[in-house]
Homo-oligomer: A and B are copies of this chain.
Amino acid sequence: MASLIDRSNLDFLLNRWLKVDELLARPSFAMHDLAEVSAYLDLAEELAGDKFLTHYKLADQIEPTLTEEGVEVLPQIKRALEQFAAAGFFSAPFPETYGGLQFPELVQAAGLGLFMAANLATSAYAMLTIANARLLVAHGSPAQAEAFARPQIEGRVLGTMCLSEPQAGSSLGDIRTRAEPDGDSIYGPQYRITGNKMWISGGDQNISENIFHLVLAKIPETDGCLPEGTKGISLFIVPKFILAEDGSPGIRNDVDVAGINHKMGYRGTSNCLLNFGEGTRFRPGGRAGAVGYLVGEPGAGLAIMFHMMNEARINVGLGAASVACRAHLLSVAYSQERMQGRLERNNNPVPLIAHPDVRRMLLAQKCYAEGALSLILYAARLVDDRETAETDEERAEADLLLGLLTPAAKTWASEWGLAANDIAIQIHGGYGYTRDFDVEQLYRDNRLNPIHEGTTGIQGIDFVGRKIQKDGGAALITLGKRIRSTCISAAAADERLRNHAADLEAVWDEFVSLAQGYQDVGRDVMLSNATELLQAFGHLVVGWLWLDQALVTSTTKSPLQETKVACCDFYFQTEMPRVTNALHHLAHRSPLPATVPLGVFGVEQ
């Protein structure tokens, strides 16, 4: 099989570290056993290697094109997603009542990660569709879930999320898309939508029979003006083809593709500017306005969309981690094959991997790639706990931790996964800079991840402005207990892990005290340092996860134990000092970025 993500590590993470067996003991997942989980991952690995990886480079070379008929993508993408649907992967996380396989999120994430490692752009269609359908199952009416979630769960229809507009990227309060009431329908209150949506992944394609857009728009107030800010945002389902009575695609809705974006990477996923309601080509019912159906209450759109967004953020991290993991395996393979240089004069050439500097890069890369993967799977486990843990307390705790960890999971995996991809190019040398080697494209694909679904800067503000302050800092206290529990166990292990535990505990205490102090530093200092605070947090948390993994393996001497302890040693030697360094800087509470005069950038004031 193709090497996508080190399967033995993935099995370790699920089985030994995150104890998927405990999940399978819960009533929600009792229909599955460990053998089924393993078979599910086997199938994912096989399909990813045979159907997704095989058009990886081609989909980069032959981008989606815009024709009179709409966006056309590489036929191989369609065929891959058909196989993905036929094997039931769209349905994996859904309840049996929707025809789903009802697998834990942890298992679903591990499976999706294998597809993302093989081909991030093709997987993105599936990722968005699953998130779209989950939102509808959770927040749509029964009629909406039946009509719009089920075809996506079956993989017949693909879904999108339409948030940004040309003038409103991160700032969703400024969206101008308008939804005018248009009577009632069997799917609930009907509206006519007018506006332009930018950066819509999968916004149009010739893969699926229909496309279901989840669209943020504002319902005008009585004076005809749109409400200001994020509170006036509502959510609508807008199908590309209005459903016929039997649910099949009927007449064309007033949604048109105004253009496609030509990206650095991630090219297989079409990315569109969509016009809603212009009425130039499609006029349902004889007039302009895209027909849409309100999901949830008016004004609740952003809150509901965050259900999808939070999942999408973790999935962005999953993609970044998966792509980094494949780059790491490619780097290990290349550094074994490529003979270059000598260690002693007049000896024979040695493989790259014999050089200490190359091993240093491989160690860092492994710590980043597999560290990111562990962080994401840990978050996926929290999703399961939030939904299915036995007691209310456990569910509430999982929810609290997930809220705290989501911006870190998205950001850390994106930023350091990308660093792992950068190292892959460096290890490949000149060859890695050519398009003949996958590592070049993997870097370009991954570069999107620190940008979409909330840039790193946006995540920083979410983390510092909301997450660490919520409920008087309850999330940090809860996480602290888990970290301390690892440290206590590590103190009973060997000397190396004991030392790492002592380091971790000290850095954690310093972080908490610093983060608490940041709750009343004022806007300038907070906004000047939010990103670095989040980055330090992410780096610290991943250190904890490495120690925790090393600890799980420490009972028996094995190659796996050697691996985990070496990575843990490296991480605590070279990576944890970055956290200390950041904390020292953050302790200054410098407002410099907020207060620097614009003249410094040559800008007239």
Contact = CB atoms under 8 A, between A and B. Distances in A.
A340 interface: yes
Contacts of A363: 592-593, 596, 600
B447 A596 contact: no
B434 A341 contact: no
Contacts of A435: 262-264
A570 B594 CA distance: 12
Given A357-B527, A577-B585, A592-B573, A562 B597 contact: yes
Given A360-B528, A455-B426, A562-B597, A169 B340 contact: yes
Contacts of A448: 433
Given A332-B602, A336-B603, A451-B430, A531 B457 contact: no
A259 to B, nearest CB: 10
Interface in A491-537: 523-524, 527-528, 530-531
Contacts of A524: 356
Interface string A428-451: 011011111000100110011011
A346 interface: yes
B457 A357 contact: yes
A257 to B, nearest CB: 16
Contacts of A602: 6, 8, 332, 563
Interface in A357-396: 357-363, 366
A349 B174 CA distance: 8
B356 A527 contact: yes
A569 interface: yes
A573 to B, nearest CB: 6
B574 A585 contact: yes
B263 A433 contact: yes
B263 A594 contact: no
Contact of A356 (B168, B447, B594): B594
A169 B429 CA distance: 8
Contacts of A174: 340, 349
Nearest to A344: B523
Contact of A447 (B171, B262, B425, B584): B425
B171 A603 contact: no
A263 B342 contact: no
A569 B366 CA distance: 35
A593 B429 contact: no
Contacts of A588: 573
A35 interface: no
A353 B603 contact: yes
Contacts of A443: 264
Given A167-B339, A528-B360, A436 B598 contact: no
A222 interface: no
A199 interface: yes
A415 to B, nearest CB: 10
A573 B587 CA distance: 11
Interface in A246-305: 261-264
A226 interface: no
A359 B456 contact: no
A431 to B, nearest CB: 8
A596 B359 contact: yes
A263 B434 contact: yes
A341 B581 CA distance: 31
The 6 closest A-B pairs by CB, nearest first: A360-B593, A356-B527, A356-B594, A581-B581, A357-B457, A171-B341
19 contacts: A169-B429, A171-B342, A228-B346, A264-B425, A264-B443, A343-B523, A356-B524, A357-B528, A363-B600, A426-B457, A429-B451, A432-B451, A562-B600, A566-B592, A566-B597, A570-B592, A570-B593, A573-B590, A580-B581
Given A171-B341, A261-B434, A332-B603, 17 more contacts: A168-B340, A262-B434, A263-B433, A263-B435, A264-B433, A264-B434, A353-B603, A356-B528, A357-B461, A357-B593, A366-B600, A429-B455, A433-B451, A559-B599, A577-B581, A577-B585, A580-B581
